Amino acid sequence: MSDRDKDVEILALRHQIMVLERQLGADVRVRFTSENRFFLATLLTSLPRAVLRRLRLVVRPDTILRWHREIVKQRHARTCRPKRRGRLPAVRSIRAPVLRLVRENPAWGYRRVHGELITLGLKVAPSTVWEILQQEGIDPAPERGSTTWADFLRSQADALLACDFIETVTLTGQRQYILTVIEHAIRRIRVLGTTAHPTAAWVTQAIRNLVMDLEDAGMLGTVPDSRPGRQVPRSHG
């Protein structure tokens, strides 16, 4: 195609655009897809702005430039987007000494650990030390150094005994109180005696008999409840 043919085609296209604009009116806006915007923006922005303003286009030259800016912005946004959001995780060279210091010094808080890291030449923020301890499920220093009631019960379950009275009524209508003991380790219940009038002396003697039986056995739940030679508390009534 010669240059004259190209000029003729351009004039024909410009004339057709004028006819279409006249028929559609000024209120009708031509809608472009994203692919059409990309094509026009990359094609026309290579021209100087003065030349671009003299072209006969369906949209204004400023719209073409705005499309080009949006394309460039989206391209940079995709390439500059971090692979993971938020702050970078603490490196292992910092995490390992933090956990070791806390393990060897349970009474140290995160600020004391931070000070020791600074002394060792490791530059880290106190909040980073706190986050490492949180991620590992390590409690603060005051809670770490103290033993809770639940921890105490779990550690002493093999040696714990619980005693209580069971109140009952006999066939004759007499009220009786049965002293029982349960061994937490094996869930064994021992009946120490029964009485209608429990007193401190009666309960003390019953517990003494149980303690002597357990001491002779060397462990809980391996001997019968009563043994010869032991004073068994009797009912007072």
Tens digits of residue pLDDT in 180-224 = 998 877 888 889 999 999 999 999 999 999 888 888 776 544 434
More confident residue, 48 or 153: 48
More confident residue, 211 or 87: 211
pLDDT of residue 138 exceeding 50, the answer is yes
Burial class (CB in 10 A: 0-12, 13-18, 19+), 207: middle
Tens digits of residue pLDDT in 53-66 = 777 777 777 887 88
- The phi and psi torsions of 22 (rounded to 5 degrees) equal -65, -40
> What band does 164 get if pLDDT is binned at 50, 70 and 90?
very high
> What band does 46 get if pLDDT is binned at 50, 70 and 90?
confident
How much is the pTM? 0.33
Residue type at 164 in one-letter notation: D
End-to-end Cα spacing for the chain: 130
